Structure 1
Amino acid sequence: MALRPLPKVPHIVAQEHLCHVGQGCPVAFDANHYSVPTRRARPRRLGGIRATKTQVSLHSTGPDATNGLTLPAVHPRAVGHGAEIVDETHWNGLPTGAGRRVTTGDTPPSPHRGQPLGSAGRTTTKTC
């Protein structure tokens, strides 16, 4: 009985963990960051990770309201530490930054609440 043949389909060994989605929609696992679609992720939302030797699957804890899916992302598993695995399509729908006001630093910022810059009410000192 103990010496029966092995099954034809190999058993998949996987790690499973709960995780929180980060502010920029990355999920941290095994000292690496994996992207999640921004339209389906909310910061600090609880999710699940299923990691095999070659792939990392990110699952949401509840079905998506639009299509009922619970698997928002699948990535190849990173080798080593400190890698950021990003699928560029996950950023679809985010603002590009075009048309935003930017400053070049040539002119000083305007004072707040009618106070001139450097007034006594706005100075701070930092001691070590």
Structure 2
Amino acid sequence: PQIMAGIVSDFRVINGQRGRLALFKLDDKSATIEASADENVINAHRDLLKDDEFVVLLGRLQLDHFSGGLRVKVMQGWDLASARAKFGRYLQVAVGDCAPDVQRLVREFPPKRQETPEGEVLVHGLRVRMGVRC
């Protein structure tokens, strides 16, 4: 599995032999790659897979027998905030002569709370490291 990011374009949904299939291109301004997502992925990420949306995708690279190039079979996807919470370790803040208003920053960017089907509440967020120079 590979993790890649880009902008979704040419999004369309077709009816295939095994159900609905989403076909789109993922463009990161260095290259464009064809991607496909099955019906389960489409339903799980309905609000994420749209034209002109930035996405971070986990998928399997395969040979595309139709075009001769590569194709990504999408297994999971995240928007920028979710990917930052999942893959980020910490936020580094350089502090100069005056300290930032930490309470205001925490109020403006609270951690993301998610409820699981079991009723458990998960908190997703980043730790903040401050580099102080005297």
- TM-score exceeds 0.5: no
TM-score with structure 2 setting the length: 0.26
Flag the structure with higher helix content: 2
Q: Which has the larger radius of gyration?
A: 1
Report the structure, 1 or 2, having the larger strand content: 2
